């Protein structure tokens, strides 16, 4: 450790720590615009200037002492940027002297030279770093009051501010106000260093400099993070713009439940509306980043909500009270044998809801128990790796597409190939200026091998990669096990895997949906003692499996017919609904299949409004907290299943969430952020046939509303030769039949795809599956 004196406090920090983080660690503040957590500092803003000194040393190398016995300090002649200066033993840092305050005030004044004074109309008002720095460091009496008895002059500004393009859309989700931009370069460095998509840069020079991109749109699934890290109101979230002031919104810290990563988010609400979703710092999981689907895809939570129960009267569903819904449950389940009742939970059901379902299934002695998106092989078949284990690994073998299946893994793998390790945690948390991060760091492509059914974005960072046909994962794994000859890339990947001392295996839905491939992947990992990150289509797969939510012998799966009576926490495929005697759907939004088949529809909360716990792909327990979103009479699965039990004449295992939480504690389920150790070897093989591959996507079907519907559209990919045989034209729109109904998709031709297959955006829990292709008449588009 290195001892550093900051003003009047002595702190010990690891070697290589920036002076900025030493100052924060000592409990002092230092202003900054250019630096941000997990971005390389470049000292561009000069707000973090400090005075630095080192002990003087004599000819013998020993420190010279003052008459008081203290080391004599040799101060540097000029102030230094604390974000790019590393600490040294015995260093003295001054952040409070007059010369430092004067420099900081001067930089605030310089930053404000051309910044418009539109705070009353700026969405960043109340959360603007420039406002805060101006109040804290801007006004310096030496500049503005020449004589003690004179009135101070609060500005020296005497010329016209620059005027440039305002409200310039960078993408369907992000708008740029160039007048407000202070050229801190955070957004440019973010794209270069975090997702690795170099799409923004400085254009022109001097006073004409502006941030821009060559084409409309930011070709990255992580573009929304620039709205968080922008220190002013230059980059704004279009889904939340002009909807509320920052101090009017209620902030709820919770976690995203769209994918198995479980990123920390802050849900901002006002008057019962979900106005904005921002990334929340959770260093172990998502650091401070969030994918675009998690950030911008929240408008569905407010639109078209189901707020009261619906009961079928004749051919129609009509609004009813909960009492009337319970009466309909009793009538519909009268005469039902308990073992004929199916209980099927949503993919993002909490641990508490999973335990309730498992206990109720035991009470009913029914084998029909499952959850949406369960794969043929459980996630708990593999020993889980943490995301920090990935950074410490020396080789990563990826079978799938992390960018779409578990988006934050893309950013973690970006750190992994740059040899970045988990940062040291200081008293103030994650370092603001991590000096181990350099600009344009070389990426070690030899550390990763990636194989996927199509060309995935991460292949650019993998020296060993390959595109294979859907369903060939089992042959690739057989070659990696050394029991079959493979391609040159697979052979070299096998050698790299065997040489590695701390490898990590990352598996996508294509492997998990194939029980044979998954079993081979388990053997590959166990022979090497490697840990696995399983990218399941279900957000809480590990947690629900640990609670025992799994079909029993002869039990129907979540997408199969079989149980004559069924409760669903989601909309199942139409084939599972046909022929049912009584169907209860527990939904947040009404669906055409619910109108056609459901006998009772109960209103459900979205994951934004739910209280409970999830388990992510690391096996980490994450807490959900309910945001105050207007959802009418919606109730969670615990209450709905308790009503189901009463209608069947069975005493509910639990009635309140507190009872379930108490039982979870008794079962030694770890507290939030703890790791849940649960392994299972259960397999549920399901044949995969057909030439239509449901390609994983970070977006979900329910999100395609509002602005997202205009920006994100399902696509049908095909090789040109395959498209020619199917009479598909580039840009045409076709309707593709899926288990949950027809999907309109735009045809995209790609030379890098295997021939004979069609790739449809999955938008849900069927990702990684194959089925027979059923294309309807083209509906239009540009040929």
Instruction: Give residue 318's pLDDT.
Output: 94
Report which of residues 659 and 45 the model is more confident about: 659
Report the DSSP beta bridge partners of residue 250.
269
Higher pLDDT, 782 or 328: 328
Q: Residue 566 pLDDT more than 90?
A: yes
Find the mean pLDDT for residues 256-270.
94
Contact in structure between 384 and 618 (CB atoms under 8 Å) = yes
Q: Place 140 in a pLDDT band, splitting at 50, 70 and 90.
A: low
pLDDT per residue over 666-709, tens digit each? 999 999 999 998 999 889 998 888 899 999 999 998 999 888 88
pLDDT tens figures, 301-355: 999 999 999 999 988 999 999 999 999 999 999 989 999 999 999 999 999 999 9
* pLDDT at 147 > cutoff 80: no
- What is the Cα–Cα distance from 283 to 96, expressed in whole angstroms? 31
Positive/negative CA dihedral, 680, 681, 685, 691? positive
Report the b/e string of 639-674 with b at 16+ CB within 10 A: bbbbbbbebbeeebbbeebebbbebbeeeebbeeee
Could you write out the three-class secondary structure of 276-340?
Answer: EEEECCECCCCECCCCHHHHHCCHHHCCCECCCCEEEECCEEEECCHHHHHHHHHHHHCCCCHHH
Question: Percent of the chain beyond pLDDT 90?
Answer: 62
Question: To 5 degrees, how large is the angle CA 339–CA 343–CA 344?
Answer: 145
- DSSP bridge pairs for 201: 212
Tokens of 522: 């388990």
Is the CB of residue 763 less than 8 Å from the CB of residue 714? yes
Q: State phi, psi for 396 to the nearest 5 degrees.
A: -125, 125
Residue 435 CA to residue 13 CA, distance in Å, equals 13
- State residue 227's pLDDT score: 92
Residue 145, pLDDT score: 65
Q: Please state which of the ranges 69-83, 494-508, 542-556, 559-573 shows the lowest mean pLDDT.
A: 69-83
Closest CA to 375 of 262, 532, 534: 534
Query: What local confidence, expressed as pLDDT, does residue 153 receive?
Result: 66
The pLDDT of residue 476 is above 60: yes
The mean per-residue pLDDT over the stretch 46-53 comes to 88
Question: What is the pLDDT averaged over residues 588-607?
Answer: 94
Angstrom distances, CA of residue 386 to CA of 398, 498, 533, 534, 544 = 15, 21, 8, 11, 19
Please provide residue 531's backbone torsions phi and psi, each rounded to the nearest 5 degrees: -95, 160
Q: Which residues pair with 273 in a beta bridge?
A: 270
Q: Tell me the pLDDT band of 167, cut-offs 50, 70 and 90.
A: confident
First to last CA, the chain: 66
Average pLDDT, the chain: 90
Rounded mean pLDDT, 110-133: 88
Q: How confident is the model at residue 720 (pLDDT cuts 50, 70, 90)?
A: very high
d(CA 451, CA 456): 8
pLDDT over 70 at 78, yes or no: yes
DSSP secondary structure of 2-35:
EEEEETTEEEEE-TT-BHHHHHHHTT-----SS-
37 versus 517: the higher-pLDDT residue is 517
Instruction: Select from 680, 780, 774 the least CA-distant residue to 731.
Output: 780
Cα–Cα distance between 381 and 92 in angstroms, integer?
54
What is the Cα–Cα distance from 105 to 108, expressed in whole angstroms?
5
CA distances from 699 to 145, 202, 745, 763, 765 (A): 57, 31, 14, 6, 11
pLDDT at 64: 84
Q: What is the pLDDT of residue 261?
A: 94
pLDDT confidence of residue 783 = 42
Q: Is the pLDDT of residue 142 over 60?
A: no
Which of 58-62, 643-647, 742-746 is predicted with the least confidence, judged by mean pLDDT?
58-62
Task: Please classify residue 739 by burial: count the beta carbons closer than 10 Å to its beta carbon, then call 0-12 exposed, 13-18 middle and 19+ buried.
Answer: middle
Percentage of the chain surpassing pLDDT 70?
97
Distances from the Cα of 312 to the Cα of 128, 320, 559, 568, angstroms = 52, 9, 23, 16
Mean pLDDT of 282-293: 92
Give the total residue count for the chain.
783
Place of tokens 């979230």: 237
Q: How many CB atoms lie within 10 A of CB 188?
A: 17
144: left (phi over 0), alpha (psi -120 to 50) or beta: alpha
How confident is the model over 231-254, as pLDDT tens digits? 899 999 999 989 899 999 999 999
């Amino acid at each position: 450790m290195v001892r550093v004196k900051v003003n009047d406090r002595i702190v010990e920090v690891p070697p290589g720590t920036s002076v900025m983080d030493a100052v924060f660690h000592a409990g002092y503040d230092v202003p900054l615009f250019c630096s941000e957590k997990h971005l390389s500092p470049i000292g561009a803003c000069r707000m973090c200037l400090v005075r630095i000194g080192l002990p003087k040393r004599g000819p013998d190398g020993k420190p010279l002492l003052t008459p008081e016995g203290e080391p004599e300090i040799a101060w540097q002649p000029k102030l230094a940027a604390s974000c790019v200066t590393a600490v040294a033993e015995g260093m003295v840092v001054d952040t409070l002297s007059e010369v430092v305050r004067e420099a900081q005030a001067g930089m605030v004044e310089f930053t404000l030279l051309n910044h418009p004074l539109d705070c009353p109309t700026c969405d960043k008002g109340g959360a603007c770093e420039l406002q805060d720095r101006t109040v804290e460091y801007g006004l310096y009496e030496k500049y503005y009051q020449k004589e003690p008895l004179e009135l101070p002059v609060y500005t020296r500004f005497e010329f016209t501010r620059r005027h440039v393009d305002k409200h310039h859309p960078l993408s369907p989700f992000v708008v740029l106000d160039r007048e407000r931009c202070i050229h801190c370069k955070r957004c440019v460095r973010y794209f270069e260093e975090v997702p690795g998509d170099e799409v923004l840069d400085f254009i022109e020079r001097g006073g004409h400099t502006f941030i821009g991109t060559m084409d409309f749109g930011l070709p990255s699934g992580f573009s929304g993070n620039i709205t968080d890290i922008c220190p002013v109101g230059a980059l704004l979230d279009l889904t939340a713009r002009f909807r509320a002031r920052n101090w009017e919104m209620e902030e709820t810290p919770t976690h995203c439940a769209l994918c198995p990563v479980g990123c920390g988010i802050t849900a901002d609400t006002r008057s019962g509306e979900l106005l904005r979703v921002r990334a929340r710092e959770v260093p172990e999981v998502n650091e401070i980043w969030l994918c675009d689907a998690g950030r911008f895809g929240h408008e569905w939570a407010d639109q078209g909500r189901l707020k009261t129960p619906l009961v079928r009267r004749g051919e129609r569903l009509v609004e009813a009270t909960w009492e009337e819904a319970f009466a309909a449950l009793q009538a519909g389940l009268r005469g039902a044998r308990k073992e004929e009742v199916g209980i099927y939970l949503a993919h993002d059901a909490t641990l508490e809801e999973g335990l309730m379902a498992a206990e109720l299934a035991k009470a009913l002695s029914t084998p029909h128990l499952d959850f949406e998106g369960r794969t043929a092989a459980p996630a708990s078949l593999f020993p889980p790796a943490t995301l920090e284990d990935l950074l410490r690994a020396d080789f990563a073998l990826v079978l799938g597409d992390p960018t779409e299946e578990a988006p934050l893994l893309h950013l973690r793998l970006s750190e992994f190939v740059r040899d970045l390790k988990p940062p040291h945690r200081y008293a103030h948390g994650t370092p603001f200026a991590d000096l181990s991060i350099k600009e344009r760091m070389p990426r070690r492509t030899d550390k990763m091998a990636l194989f996927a059914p199509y060309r995935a974005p991460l292949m650019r960072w993998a020296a060993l990669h390959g595109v294979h046909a859907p369903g060939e994962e089992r042959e690739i794994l057989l070659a990696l096990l050394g029991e079959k000859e493979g391609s040159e890339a697979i052979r070299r990947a096998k050698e790299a895997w065997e040489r590695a001392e701390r490898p990590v295996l990352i598996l996508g839905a294509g492997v998990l949906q194939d029980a044979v491939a998954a079993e081979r992947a388990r053997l590959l990992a166990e022979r090497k003692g490697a840990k696995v990150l399983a990218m399941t289509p279900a957000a809480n797969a590990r947690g629900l499996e640990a609670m025992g939510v799994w079909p029993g012998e002869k039990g129907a799966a979540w997408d199969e017919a079989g149980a004559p009576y069924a409760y669903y926490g989601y909309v199942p495929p139409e084939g599972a609904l046909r022929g049912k005697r009584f169907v209860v759907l527990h939904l947040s939004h009404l669906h055409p299949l619910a109108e056609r088949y459901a006998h009772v529809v109960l209103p459900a909360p979205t994951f934004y409004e739910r209280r409970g716990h999830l388990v992510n792909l690391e096996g980490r327990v994450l807490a959900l907290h309910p945001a105050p979103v207007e959802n009418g009479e919606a109730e969670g699965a615990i209450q709905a299943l308790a009503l189901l039990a009463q209608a069947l004449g069975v005493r509910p295992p639990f009635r309140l969430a507190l009872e379930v939480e108490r039982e979870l504690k008794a079962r030694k389920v770890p507290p939030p952020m703890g790791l849940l150790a649960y392994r299972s070897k259960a397999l549920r093989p399901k044949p995969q046939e057909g030439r239509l591959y449901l390609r994983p996507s970070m977006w979900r079907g329910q999100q395609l509303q509002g602005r997202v519907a205009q920006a994100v559209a399902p696509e049908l990919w095909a090789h040109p030769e395959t498209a020619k045989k199917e009479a598909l034209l580039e840009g045409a729109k076709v309707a593709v039949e899926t288990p949950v109904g027809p999907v309109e998709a735009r045809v995209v031709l790609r030379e890098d795809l295997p021939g004979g297959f069609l790739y449809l955006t999955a938008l849900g829990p069927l990702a990684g599956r194959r089925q027979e292709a059923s294309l309807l008449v083209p509906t239009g588009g540009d040929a």
